[in-house]
Structure 1
């Protein structure tokens, strides 16, 4: 598995990362462990865990059960803790009653992990000064509770501001920005303001939502597939993704690849991208996604240009 540097952090991570959003609590534990084992076999060593509210109506706690289950399936997998980079998130949802250190403590307790390697910050509430956000995260880094930090879905001006504040405080700048990035959603990553902010912070992109909710895999093409986007395909805003999915199917057939692999290869073709975050509920999905790295390696300049033309 190809690895790239996660910004200036000194962390080298696999170019395919495995997320946990709405995943492990919805499938049997042994299936979750099988997914992780397939990721390990494929060379994926960047995992993400996140606390979110229960959406199944069956969890024993209203929020954070996702972390509990992640910890269970991780311990049941073949991964050793020291062979994988695990990222978590600060949501600031219970601030000011709960600061960053307390939120991290609660996440570690639920997962059963003794530390996280990387911390993302969700956009903080408007009443929480960015100076305080940076200071609290800086204290976690100084205490050795994580090695580096990044942001999730911040606008470019806020990322640039965080970088300026971090330098003024003597805190490491955010080294990664997790942002939606796909053939049909490029502006957030490729816009000049974000390019400049990333460069100023010496940060990389962690590409998310690269398959446009699964539409770009082509699984909805015949209208038979079930999934979270099945009821939304008639919405006009998804028309570009539907059209791109058809073009991807045609190009994938020519290359002996899958549409999903091509869609992931697009995100990886951007040198600012360190890794692409994927979800999977079956081991076969992990293997298919992991093959995107090999696909990218065999695409020449002309083929990449043709790929970038889809959905442009």
Structure 2
């Protein structure tokens, strides 16, 4: 396993990590979740990611049970959770000081932990003043209930504002962002966040590296009944299913089939190629993967050996297939 520093900190996280979104607490049994986490840990993964909203809190419960069952040293683990959607009550969602503090306590209780290493603001909250948000996360850190805080799917402007507030008040600024990043979703990491990486040395723990499985090739000929997209009671999965049945969705499937041919040349799977592509980005601290069976984790870890094979020639071939590289240079001269 490869380990990387998380942004501008001394904390080292595994380049590949395991997340519980959709899968743990919902799609698979606690026993399967335990087997997956054990396999991940045995393969060197030390970073496990969850959130208060995943399966209504059950994901945190299942992951916490696994941590206690295997008796892992707490120093060998980096555990993260995220706050925003804590319940249906008026003060059980958002980023008010009240919810950040109470939500943290509730998450720790479900996880059966004294602290989490990373605590994220799961989404921006335009209704709460930025100073309140920054102060609340600092309070949680000062209480020893989290070591670092960060954001998820915040804009560069919002993150910059948080840094400005923290700087003005001599408080701890967000260390990391958790955005979606994959071959089909690139602009935020490769364009919008570039000033953050340069000015603040922000870390990035990215989710959906396989575009919810699309980049694995499993949906090339339809939707398997045991896949995430087949889940009927999940609004996100329904939206993704509907997207596949559009012109853009069909174009993406065509690209995935072309990627499969390139992966074959490298003697790897399409999934491993897509993960290696994410890992190659120097601004990525950790690639959060999902898995409903231990064998998927074993296959995902092999992506680390594919990264050195992504030569300039191969990267050019990938860009020719994807045809979506963000434009960074602009010509403002009038014609």
Same fold (TM over 0.5): yes
Aligned equivalents of 2:321 and 2:207: distance in 1? 18
CA shift digits 1:273-300 (9 cap, x unpaired): 1111111110011111111112113433
Question: 1:33-182 maps to which residues of 2 (within 5 A)?
Answer: 33-52=34-53, 54=55, 63-77=56-70, 79-91=72-84, 93=86, 94=92, 96=96, 98-182=98-182
Would the aligned equivalents of 1:9 and 1:148 in 2 still touch at CA under 8 Å? no
In the superposition, relative to structure 1, how do residues 309 and 176 fare at CA in structure 2: closer, same or farther (>3 Å)?
A: farther
Secondary structure at the counterpart of residue 212 of structure 1: coil
TM-score, with structure 1 as normaliser: 0.90
Question: 1:1-312 maps to which residues of 2 (within 5 A)?
Answer: 1-25=1-25, 26-52=27-53, 54=55, 63-77=56-70, 79-91=72-84, 93=86, 94=92, 96=96, 98-191=98-191, 193-223=192-222, 225-226=224-225, 227-229=227-229, 231-232=241-242, 233-311=244-322, 312=324
Unaligned runs of 5+ in 1: 55-62
Matching residue of 2:238: none
State the shift of 1:216 in Å.
Answer: 0.6
Secondary structure at the counterpart of residue 205 of structure 1: strand
Secondary structure at the counterpart of residue 273 of structure 1: coil
In the superposition, relative to structure 1, how do residues 34 and 304 fare at CA in structure 2: closer, same or farther (>3 Å)?
A: same
In the superposition, relative to structure 1, how do residues 201 and 240 fare at CA in structure 2: closer, same or farther (>3 Å)?
A: farther
Unaligned runs of 5+ in 2: 87-91, 231-240, 325-335
Would the aligned equivalents of 1:266 and 1:307 in 2 still touch at CA under 8 Å? no
Would the aligned equivalents of 1:39 and 1:286 in 2 still touch at CA under 8 Å? yes
Matching residue of 1:58: none
TM-score, with structure 2 as normaliser: 0.84
